[in-house]
Amino acid sequence: MFEPQDLPGRYGRVVKSLDHVLQAVGCQAVVGGGWAVWRHGYLGRVTRDIDIVLPTDQVDEFLQAAGVSGFQVLPVPADRWPKLLHRDTQVDVDILPQGRRPGTPSRPAPTTIPHPARCGASGFTLTYASLPALMEMKLAAGRTQDRADVVKLIQANPDQIDRIREHLMGVHPDYVSEFDRLEQQAREEATGVS
């Protein structure tokens, strides 16, 4: 099975560097965002960064270790989430801290980012977020691109719809409603019905 360590070129090098930091601090993490969308079947999805979910209580230690392991900790405003730059490849790494609230300023999510273990993390190397956890995070973020990703992932994984809905039912009813709406949209797009 294709794992983050198998990503091509500079992205694979960044993942290996992130694994080194995760192992040094004994931290679980998962890849979310565009690369996870790509991994779960939306092959047209392109991204220039790597998004990783980290446990809140290990973010500071992770950032300290990353700062001496080939990454630059980028300055961000106090209300923004941490960001790294891999010095050798110039690839950005966005940190999604467990417990922080995603969404947009006008529409914050009703839930927070789950712990990496709830997203499919195992051991101290990067794995991809599970499809249900990725859908949860995409629905929580709520941006236009995130909704488009959900539609494409539904189309790429029609056999997983019940499993995803069941997961979302255990998270928040708003996510189930939005997922059902986007599932209908995905079906209409796939059949050409408007």
How does pLDDT run across 43-54, given as a tens digit for each residue? Answer: 888 899 999 999
CA distance 155 to 164: 13
175 and 136 in contact (C-beta within 8 Å)?
yes
Q: Which CATH number does 4-188 carry?
A: 3.30.460
* Angle between helical axes of 9-25 and 59-67 (0-180°, round to 10): 120
Percent above pLDDT 70 for the chain: 98
* Angle between helical axes of 161-169 and 131-141 (0-180°, round to 10): 60
Q: What is the pTM of this model?
A: 0.95
CA distance 142 to 127: 23
CA distance 66 to 73: 8
Is the confidence at residue 193, as pLDDT, over 70? no
| Residue 32 DSSP label | E
What integer pLDDT is reported at residue 1 of this predicted model?
Answer: 53
Is the confidence at residue 194, as pLDDT, over 60? no
How does pLDDT run across 128-153, given as a tens digit for each residue? Answer: 999 999 999 999 999 999 999 999 99
